[in-house]
Structure 1
Amino acid sequence: MRYNGKEIASWDLNSIKRFWDFASNEPLKYFTYMVGDKIIKMLSNELKQDHKILDYGAGIGFLSEKLLKKGFNVTSLDSSPDSIVLLKNKLSIFKNFSGAMDLESIKNQDLKFDIIFIVEVVEHLDDYYLNELLENVFKLITDNGIIIITTPNNEILENSYIYCPFSDLVFHRWQHVRKWDKFTLNEKLKEKGFNNNRMIETHFFNNPKWNGFNRKTIGGILEFLKLSIEKKKPHLVAIAKKN
C-alpha cells in the first residue's frame, strides 16, 4: 500500500516491540493514563466488587492500577516479559492484585474472568492477531461475563501518517493498522461468538482547564470546542457478551 507516492511500512513483531519500547519512555501520553478514570466511571454499572477483572494488553499498568485503587480484583496480561516484570513491581503493593502474566500462564492455570478490558488494542492488530485475540478472550470469559473494548471511532488513519526520511516509508504515528466503527466492530464480535453487544460512540476527553495563557491551554480549549461544535464522538466502546 502507498500514500502520497510513498510505501506504507509493514509492521512486524520486531518493529512493534521497538516502537512500544520507545513509547513507554513517555508514559504520560498513554491513553489509560489520560482517560482511564473516565472509562471506569462510564462503565461503573457493569463493574461489581466481586468481579474478577482481566486487563488484556496491560502495558505499563495505568488501567490496572486505577481499577486496583477502586478495590477491584485485577489480573494484568501482557505479551512483553519486560512489561510483566514492571507490572509485578508496580502493582504488588495492592492486596487485590492477582498477578501479571502472559497468555500461556493464564491458560495453564485455567483462569476465567467476569470482565475483560481490551483498551486501545484492536486498532493495532492485523487479521491474524485480531482473530487470535478474540478467540482467546472468548475462552477466558465466564459464561455471563462481558468484554469491554475501546478503540478510535471511524478514525481517518491518513491524518496520523508520518513520513520517515531515513527509511523513505510512511507509518501511523501510533502504530494503528485498521479503523473501526460501530458496525464493523459489532459484526466482527458477532463473527467470534459475541451476540449481545452494545456500541457506544463517545469522547473521553477531559474538560479543558485554564493553566495560564499558553499554547497548550489555548490548544486544549480550541480542540474541546471543535469537538463540541461538530458533535464528534472520536471514541468507540463495545460492551459484548457471549449470550
Structure 2
Amino acid sequence: MRGGQGLSEMEQNPESQQTGISGGYRQLPWDDEKVTRFWRWQSQFPEEYFTNQFGDRIARILAPWLKSGNGSVLDYGCGLGFLTRHLAALGSKVWATDFSQEAVAITNRRNAGVEGFGGADTVAAIRSRGQRFSRIVSIEVIEHLDDRHIASFFEAIRAMLASDGLVIITTPNEEHLEKSQIYCPCCDHVFHRYQHVRSFSAATLGEMVRAHGLEPIKTFTTDFSRRAWWHPKQIVRDLIAISSGVSRRQPHLACIARRA
C-alpha cells in the first residue's frame, strides 16, 4: 500500500476490478467520494504505509537507476511523502507530486528541511510549469488505477519525463486480489483491503507500459519488504516458507522504461 491520498480525485471503474468471489458478493464500485473517504481514514495509520515501512530499502534497491542522469527525481504519486527523503538521501534533487492538494501539503510538511527536497506540488501545477525530470519514480500506484485513468497516468509521465529520462514503476507481483478482499456487512459488498483494482505480471506490466508510449528496458521481481535475517518478522516468514516447502514468489515487480 502506497500513500493513496493521491488517488482521491480519481473515480474508479468497477468493471476493471477483479471478481470471482464466492457466495455472490458484489464488488464495491469505487468512486471519487468513496476513495477520498477511504484514504482519509487510512491516513490515520501511517505505520501501515508501505513506503513508511520500507522506503529505505526501496530506495537502495532502485539506486542503480536513480544515481545516473542529471540528478532530478520526481516521486509521482507521493501520497503522504514517506519515500521522498529516502530518494533525496541518494544525493538527487527530489520533487514530489500528487493529485491531492491535501497529500501535497502533508508531503511538504513532512520533508521540510530535508536536504535535496525541492518541494511537492500537484501534477497539474508541475505540468503547467513545464518541469521535466531525469527520473520519475511511481511506487505502488498503478494497481489502484482503473482503465479510464491508466491513459492519463502515462500521459502525465510522458509530459514530465526528460527526453533521455527513465521512469520506474513498481507494483505487487501477480497479486491474488481476492485474497485481500474484505466484506462490508453494511453495504453487502467486498473490496480490496488497500483499494487495489488490478494485478500485474512482468509480461502484462511490460505490455501496458509499451502500449502507452514507453519502452521497457528492464523488468524484474524483488522483495522490497524483506527485512534483515535476524528481524523477528523475517524469521517467521522464512520459517513458514521452509516448513511449507513452497518457494515464496518475489512479491514486488519493477519496470524500468524510457521513451519509445
Match of 2:21 in 1: 3
Cα distance between partner residues in 1 of 2:166 and 2:61: 15
Q: CA deviation at 1:29?
A: 1.1
Change (3 A) 1:238 1:227: farther
Change (3 A) 1:225 1:131: farther
User: What is the TM-score normalised by the length of structure 2?
Assistant: 0.85
TM-superposition CA deviations, 1:106-132 (whole Å, max 9, x none): 011100001101100010000111111
Cα distance between partner residues in 2 of 1:194 and 1:158: 30
Whether 1:242 aligns to 2:259 is yes
Match of 1:207 in 2: 228
Q: CA deviation at 1:207?
A: 3.2
Contact 2:228 2:234 in 1 (8 A): no
Question: 1:68 aligned to 88, 106, 111, which one?
Answer: 88
Cα distance between partner residues in 2 of 1:119 and 1:98: 19
Unaligned runs of 5+ in 2: 1-18
Contact 1:186 1:197 in 2 (8 A): no
What do you get for the CA RMSD once the two structures are aligned?
2.1
Q: CA deviation at 1:193?
A: 1.2
* 3-state SS of 1:195 partner: strand
Match of 1:101 in 2: 121
Change (3 A) 1:59 1:155: same
Count of aligned positions: 239
Match of 1:20 in 2: 39
Question: 2:135 aligned to 112, 115, 119, which one?
Answer: 115
Change (3 A) 1:82 1:97: same
Letter in 2 for 1:232: R
Aligned-pair identity in percent equals: 34
Contact 2:209 2:216 in 1 (8 A): no
Letter in 1 for 2:51: T
Match of 1:160 in 2: 180
Q: Which range is displaced more, 121-130 or 65-74?
A: 65-74
Q: CA deviation at 1:167?
A: 1.2
